[in-house]
Structure 1
Amino acid sequence: MKRAPLALAAVTTALAAVTGIAALTAPAAPAAADAKARQQSAAGLPVERSTLVCPAPSTSDIADTTYTTITPGKAGSQAGSPAKGSARLTGATKDAKPVLEPKTPGTPVGATSTGAEAPALTGTADGVLAPGWTAQQTTQVAVGQARGLLGVACTAPGTEFWFPGTSTAKGRQDYVHLTNADDTPAVVDIQLFGPEGALKTDAGSGENIKIGPKSSVAVLLSTLAPSAQLADVTARVTTRSGRVGASVQVAEDGVGTDWLPASTDPAGSLVLPGIPADATSVRLVAHAPGEEDADLTLRLAGPGGSITPAGSEQLHVKGGMSVSVDLKDVTRGEAGSLVLTPSGGHKAVPVVAAVRVVRGSGSKQELGFIAASGPVGARATVADNRTDTGSTTVSLTVPSGAKDAKVRITASPGTQGGEAAVKEFTVKAGTTLAIPQPPAPAGGKGSYALTVETLSGGPVHASRTLSLPHEGIAMFTVQSFADDHGTVPVPKAVQDLSILTG
Structure 2
Amino acid sequence: MNRTTQSLIAVVVALGAVTGFAAFGGTDGTDDAGAKAAARLPVERTSLLCPVPSSSDLAETSYTAFTPKASGAAATGKAELLPVSKALTDAAKENDKKAKPFLTQKTPGEPVAGEASGAEAPALIGTADGGLAPGWTVQQTTTYAAGSGRGMHGTHCTAPDTDFWFPGASTAKDRSDYIHLTNPDDSAAVIDVELFGPDGEVTSAVGDSIQVQPHSSVPVLLSTLADKAYPNLTMHVIARSGRVAAAVQSSDEKLGGDWLAASTDPADSLVLPGIPKDATSVRLVAYAPGARDADLKVQLASPNGTLTPAGNENLHVKSGMTAAVDLGDVTKGEAGSLLLSPTDTPVPVVAALRVTRGKGSKQETAFIPATGEVGTRATVAGNGAKDATLSLVAPEKSAKVKVTASAGTEGGSPVTKTYTVKGGTTLEIADPPRPDGLKGAYALTVEPVSGGPVHAARTLSQPEGGLPMFTVQTLPDDRGTVAVPRAERDLAVLQK
TM-score (norm 2): 0.90
72, 76, 80: which one aligns with 1:88: 80
Structure 1 segment 41-52 matched on structure 2, within 5 A? 41-52=37-48
Structure 1 segment 114-263 matched on structure 2, within 5 A? 114-201=117-204, 204-225=205-226, 227-263=227-263
Summarize deviations over 1:113-160 as a string: whole Å, max 9, x none: 110000000011110111001001000011122210000000100001
Runs of 4+ in 1 over 3 A off after TM superposition: 25-31, 94-97, 494-502
CA distance in 1, matches of 2:177, 2:100: 28
> What SS does the aligned partner of 1:365 have?
strand
CA distance in 2, matches of 1:30, 1:136: 47
The equivalent residue for 1:371 is 369
CA distance in 2, matches of 1:130, 1:495: 29
476, 479, 486: which one aligns with 2:473: 479
> What SS does the aligned partner of 1:443 have?
strand
- Within the alignment, does 1:317 sit opposite 2:313 as a pair? no
Shift of 1:100: 1.1
Summarize deviations over 1:449-488 as a string: whole Å, max 9, x none: 0000011112100000000000011100000012111111
CA distance in 1, matches of 2:495, 2:225: 61
Structure 1 segment 265-276 matched on structure 2, within 5 A? 265-276=265-276
Larger Rg: 1
The letter of the residue matching 2:67 is: T
Q: Percent of counterpart pairs with the same letter?
A: 59
Shift of 1:497: 7.7
CA distance in 2, matches of 1:495, 1:262: 42
Shift of 1:495: 6.5
Structure 1 segment 445-460 matched on structure 2, within 5 A? 445-460=439-454
Shift of 1:42: 1.8
Tell me if the contact between 1:52 and 1:155 (Cα under 8 Å) persists in the aligned partners: yes
The letter of the residue matching 2:279 is: A
Structure 1 segment 52-63 matched on structure 2, within 5 A? 52-63=48-59
- Within the alignment, does 1:493 sit opposite 2:493 as a pair? no
The equivalent residue for 1:78 is 71
Tell me if the contact between 1:29 and 1:496 (Cα under 8 Å) persists in the aligned partners: no
CA distance in 2, matches of 1:30, 1:458: 35
Structure 2 CA distance for partners of 1:474 and 1:413, relative to 1, 3 Å: same
Shift of 1:403: 2.4
Tell me if the contact between 2:147 and 2:253 (Cα under 8 Å) persists in the aligned partners: no
The equivalent residue for 2:16 is none
> What SS does the aligned partner of 2:487 have?
coil
The equivalent residue for 2:357 is 359
CA distance in 2, matches of 1:333, 1:205: 44
Summarize deviations over 1:156-193 as a string: whole Å, max 9, x none: 00001000001111010000000011111111110000
Shift of 1:501: 9.5
Tell me if the contact between 1:107 and 1:413 (Cα under 8 Å) persists in the aligned partners: yes
The equivalent residue for 1:300 is 300
Which stretches in structure 2 are left out of the alignment for 5+ residues? 3-26, 88-98
CA distance in 2, matches of 1:430, 1:26: 48
Aligned positions, number: 460
Cα root mean square deviation, aligned: 1.7
Structure 2 CA distance for partners of 1:172 and 1:42, relative to 1, 3 Å: same
Shift of 1:30: 4.3
The equivalent residue for 2:65 is 69
> What SS does the aligned partner of 1:101 have?
strand
378, 381, 401: which one aligns with 2:379: 381
Shift of 1:197: 0.5
Shift of 1:489: 1.2
Shift of 1:86: 1.1
> What SS does the aligned partner of 2:351 have?
strand
CA distance in 1, matches of 2:449, 2:28: 41
Structure 2 CA distance for partners of 1:245 and 1:500, relative to 1, 3 Å: closer
The letter of the residue matching 1:415 is: T
Summarize deviations over 1:312-351 as a string: whole Å, max 9, x none: 11111111111000100000000000000010xx221110
Tell me if the contact between 2:299 and 2:340 (Cα under 8 Å) persists in the aligned partners: yes
CA distance in 1, matches of 2:429, 2:164: 30
Structure 2 CA distance for partners of 1:85 and 1:30, relative to 1, 3 Å: closer
CA distance in 1, matches of 2:452, 2:324: 29
